[in-house]
Amino acid sequence: MRFFLAVTHTGQIARAAVQLGVDATTVTRRIRRLEQALGHTLFEQRRDGQHLTEMGERLAAKADALERAMSDVTEQGAHPLEGVVRVSASEGFGTWFVAPRLGGFSAAYPRLNVDLVANSGFLSPSRRETDIAIVLARPRKGPLVSRRLTDYALRLYASRAYVEGAPIASKAALRTHPLIGYIPDFLYAPELDYLEEIDPQLSPRLRSSSINAQHRMAAAGAGVAVLPCFIGDTDPNLVRVLDEVRITRSFWLATHRDVLALPRTRAFVDWLVGAATADRDVLLGL
């Protein structure tokens, strides 16, 4: 069953093999043996890896319940938590907020491994691609448990040199400056459409699907960017532009209802909620 769970949680046979310390052929053989014993196909092969079939979803729920029970027994026996917690977050939040603080979590739970998937787009807890997803809107479908993690603020930023050479006095003046933002075709969430909210006539001249690339452009003096305060305020090369422009968004925590009951998942959720609460001023740009 551990081979099945490894593929379920990692989404790929190759990754499961690395996690288990065996070769991919062994994982494939074990999965096929389990499918033959059950008389059902548990995974379907897609371009990005293995996805659970309907029968696979049913078995995963049972297997997670068993793993949860075993973890509870382990916890009651005063043994430290161990295993892997996979966390999916946006590139910006994962890189600039979660990653710098993960050392504290690791020190508290030295036998827990954390897979932080920080990129454009999110893995799906419903499809067992991740244990925890930090998303921009509350999920409305699937067997998920969700809660608001925190609000956060975004502002306009530019390099000090840029502002000194080309002061910006009003929102209307932004139309004459090179703006930095997302590629419209690559917006993976409507909540990322910031410029429309500031002025419907604004559009980015320099565009990237990566918030980190946008940050680097702004820091290098290429123009003006909308950045989360937890990014912009932490870079001494950047200054805020137009204090009256402030955008608010939210991060939501989403987990599969079966996975949330696992002690290691609860431990990470509790830690992250605590970190967001402790650094609320950083997130809100206060």
The per-residue pLDDT for 60 is 80
- Burial of residue 248 (number of CB atoms within 10 Å: 0-12, 13-18, 19+): exposed
pTM of full prediction above 0.85: no
The per-residue pLDDT for 154 is 96
Residues 159 and 73 in one domain: no
User: How many Cβ atoms from other residues are within 10 Å of residue 63's Cβ?
Assistant: 17
> Does any domain span residue 137?
no
Specify the CATH number for the domain of residue 174: 3.40.190.10
pLDDT digits (tens), the chain, 286 positions: 778 888 887 888 888 888 888 888 888 888 888 888 888 898 888 887 888 888 888 788 777 666 655 555 554 444 568 888 999 899 999 999 999 999 999 999 999 999 999 887 667 666 778 889 898 888 777 777 888 999 999 999 999 999 999 889 888 899 999 999 999 888 877 788 888 888 888 989 999 999 999 999 999 999 999 999 999 999 999 999 999 999 999 999 988 888 888 898 899 999 999 999 999 999 999 8
> Does any domain span residue 57?
yes
Specify the CATH number for the domain of residue 63: 1.10.10.10
Which residue among 56, 79, 102 closes a domain? 79
CA dihedral of 266, 271, 276, 278, whole degrees rounded to 10: 140
> Does any domain span residue 172?
yes
The per-residue pLDDT for 151 is 94
The per-residue pLDDT for 144 is 78
Domain that holds residue 222: 151-249
The per-residue pLDDT for 122 is 66
Strand, helix or coil at 109?
Answer: coil
How many independent structural domains does the chain possess?
2
